[in-house]
Each structure stands twice: as structure tokens, then as C-alpha cells.
Amino acid sequence: MYKALRGMNDILPGVSRIWQDVEKNAISVLRQFGYSEIRTPVMEEKGLFVKSVGGETDIVTKEMFSFRDRGERDVVLRPEGTAPIVRAYLEANLHKTDPFQKFYYIEPMFRSERPQAGRLRQFHQIGAEVIGSLNPVVDAEIILLLAAILDKNGIKDYTIRLNNLGCHDDKIRLSGALKAQLSDKEVLLCDDCKKRLQKNPLRVLDCKKDSCRNIARSALKSIDFLCENCKNHFAGVKECLKGTSAEKKCVDDPYIVRGLDYYTSTVFEVSHPALGAQDAIGAGGRYDNLVKDMGGPALGAVGFALGVERMLMARSKDTAVFKGSATVYVATIGEKAAKEGFKITNELRIAGIECNMNYEGSSLKSQMRDADKLGSVLTIIIGDDELAKGEIVLRDMRTKEQISAKFTDMLKTVNEKLKTYSL
């Protein structure tokens, strides 16, 4: 028997319903904030990520699903969404019509990591990107948007860890100072970090090994690298967040450096107790040089991506798990009633009401159990008596009260009853 590839999961019925809810909630918030959907191909040229995410990062050196296509091109399954969106933005010349654009995406990403809880090889991100502004108010909007999506999905116990990495020059200054300080301790670093120290010392700060990270963190403490402009920008972001619902969720964390090279200035990660210490539910920040580095004009940009699988892990801790998928359940006794029930089910569905019934002639008791399991708020019951009278019995699952209604009044009666529920 074939099995799904390691780290790549099927999303089965029941669970897919929860995904739809999470995505629907996210889309409604994204629209409220004025973001438009963008969809890019699953495959891209490898060079796109080498140039943007960085040739020395874990994603590029170890984690991309990369291969030669039939035309001898090096292609990869996209490991993240930001670089493809900048590519699409420039390719479609969107900067020429209106440089300021707000995008969102809900898409699968691929990284060949060692699979474990919350770490997959095919995972899904809900992301947002704003291109065309250096204004700190846009950083604040992005953070508020991220918080609103989590809130709307009932995820409560999260923390947004904020930092400022500095501009291009600040990062060079930080990198040099870090290299100087870590050189003395090189023997204590892992083999990967020894290489990182030569090529990109900042990456030692997000090594997966605690020992390397701790050495780099203690070195970082004594380095003052932020220019006045970046300090003011960081203060500006916090000023914009003041008094908002997300302010309480934000804490400063000087150790947030992010594992992708395109970041400058504001960076953040969102942690949640349902996930381990190193795994974030989402993350993002500014990438003010990326549009220019990819051949476009100099334009500021900021964005984030939330991991959907990790949102679900947090959600199941914070909220009751979704139970049902039928607002109205049609329970029937006998073959003739089943035929009438089938017609009624169809009529309700066409009228836009989520409706389900059992086709297997199961006992009334087991159908009522189904109705409960599916979270139905009303159950229609039809047996021989009802058929003879041309009526249905309508049971309110909350109050257990039952009323009768003529077949001809069925839709009207169901709608009236449903109005008493705030669905």
C-alpha cells in the first residue's frame, strides 16, 4: 500500500472543516484590513531563494526540495512566500501603476526538515505583505493584522516578540562585531556554525543547537549597532502600537534575528505555549532592500506568515474543537420516509442550509446520535405516521421541544426556528 511522503499530511474530512474555518476567519480579517489575494506558482527558479533568503541560510543550504527540470533548469518547490511575491510584483510591473500594494496568500510551502510535531515538509502559511512604504505605521498595521487573525481564530495565549535588526549598514556592523567576539570561542561552536562564522556570523544566533545560540547571544549583549534612524523607526512602531489591543501581546526581545537574510529593521516572532521553545506560530518583519536587490526600485516592505498547522495546535489548546457539520439533521424511519427525507434534505441544502441525513436505514437512536455528533441544532423526524399526515416533526436539539409542521410549511418553519439560534 502506498503512503503519503514523510512530513506531508493528508487533511481528512472533519479536520479539513477546521482548516476551512481558520482560513475563512483569516480571509475576513485580511479583507477588513484591505489586503488582496495573490497566488504564485508552487515551483520557482532556485536562484530566487538563493538571492533573497540567502545562500548560507538553513532553508537554502539544507531544506529546499530542489531538482533539475527537463529543460535543465534548477527549480525548487517554494520554501516560503515573500520572495515569490516580490518577484510577481516586479514581473507584473505593479510598482509602475501603484508602488504601494497589500497582498495576502494562503498556500503550501515545502521544506525538507526533519519531521516532528509542528514541523512538516509540506506545511501551510497564511501570509501578508505590504510593499511600497518605509512608514513605521505599516509595521504596526502588519502586527495588528497578525494579532487580529489569531484573535478571530480563538488563539489567545500568544506573545509577539519584537526586535529591530538595523538597516543594511547596521547589519554589517553587527556582523563584524559578532565575528570578532565569536572568533575566540570558535572551538565551542558546531561545525555548521564554524562555517557560518566565516560567511554569515548572524546565522549563529539562530543555530538549532542551544550551546551555539547561547554563546552568540551573550556576545550580542555587548554590541551597540543600531543607527539613530533605526532606533527612531523602532520607537515609531511601538508608538503606533500604543493603546491598541495588540500592545499587551508585544514584548521586546533582542535575540530575535530570524533565519532568512532579507530582513532589516523590524523583526518579530510569535510564540505560543502549545509549541516548543524554538518553534514559532508565525513570524515576519521588514525587508527594505529586497525589492531593489531583485532588480526593482528602492521600496520599503514588511510582512508576516503564520503557520496554519501550528495555529491549529494552538487553537486546540485554546478553544473547543469543532464538532459538527450539519445544522439540520433529517432522521427517517422506514424506506418510504427515507425517500421523503432525501427530498427534504435536498430542499434544505438548495435553500442554503447545511443539512445531512443517514442513507443506511439505521435505527432512530443511532440517527439521533449522529445528529448530536454533527452538532445539529434541529432534527427533522419522519416516520409512517408523519407520512400519512403529510407532516414532519421538528425537534429543537437545545430545548428538546418537538413541534409538527406540514410538508408545505417545512422550509418556513425550519427558518423561523433557526432564527432563534445565533449561528
Q: Is 324 helix (H, G, I), strand (E, B) or coil?
A: coil
- The minimum distance between CB 404 and ligand HAM, in angstroms, equals 52
Toward ligand HAM, which CB reaches closer, 60 or 120?
A: 120
- The count of C-alpha atoms lying within 13 angstroms of the C-alpha of 142, restricted to the half-sphere facing its C-beta, is 35
Toward ligand HAM, which CB reaches closer, 112 or 229?
A: 112
- As beta bridge partners, residue 396 has 378
Measured distance CA(139)–CA(23) in Å, rounded: 23
Toward ligand HAM, which CB reaches closer, 129 or 170?
A: 129
Helix (H) or strand (E) holding 288: none
- The minimum distance between CB 152 and ligand HAM, in angstroms, equals 17
- The minimum distance between CB 10 and ligand HAM, in angstroms, equals 16
Give the Cα-Cα-Cα angle 23, 29, 304 (nearest 5 degrees).
75
- The minimum distance between CB 224 and ligand HAM, in angstroms, equals 26
- The minimum distance between CB 306 and ligand HAM, in angstroms, equals 6
- The minimum distance between CB 192 and ligand HAM, in angstroms, equals 18
Residues 418, 353: contact at Cβ < 8 Å? yes
**Closest by alpha carbon to 110, among 66, 79, 67?**
79
- The minimum distance between CB 150 and ligand HAM, in angstroms, equals 12
- The residues binding ligand HAM (CB under 6 A) are 80-82, 111, 113, 118-120, 123, 125, 127, 129, 280-285, 303-305, 307, 309-310
Give the Å distances, CA to CA, from 280 to 285, 309, 313: 14, 11, 11
Angle at which helices 136-152 and 228-241 cross, to 10°: 40
Toward ligand HAM, which CB reaches closer, 111 or 417?
A: 111
- As beta bridge partners, residue 105 has 127
- The minimum distance between CB 59 and ligand HAM, in angstroms, equals 7
Residues 310, 106: contact at Cβ < 8 Å? no
Measured distance CA(241)–CA(139) in Å, rounded: 9
- Estimate to the nearest angstrom the gap between the alpha carbon of 206 and the chain centroid: 22
For residue 120, what is its C-alpha cell?
512538516
Q: Is 420 helix (H, G, I), strand (E, B) or coil?
A: coil
Kindly give the pairing relationship between strand 328-332 and strand 159-164. unpaired
Toward ligand HAM, which CB reaches closer, 25 or 379?
A: 25
* Nearest residue (beta carbon) to ligand HAM: 307
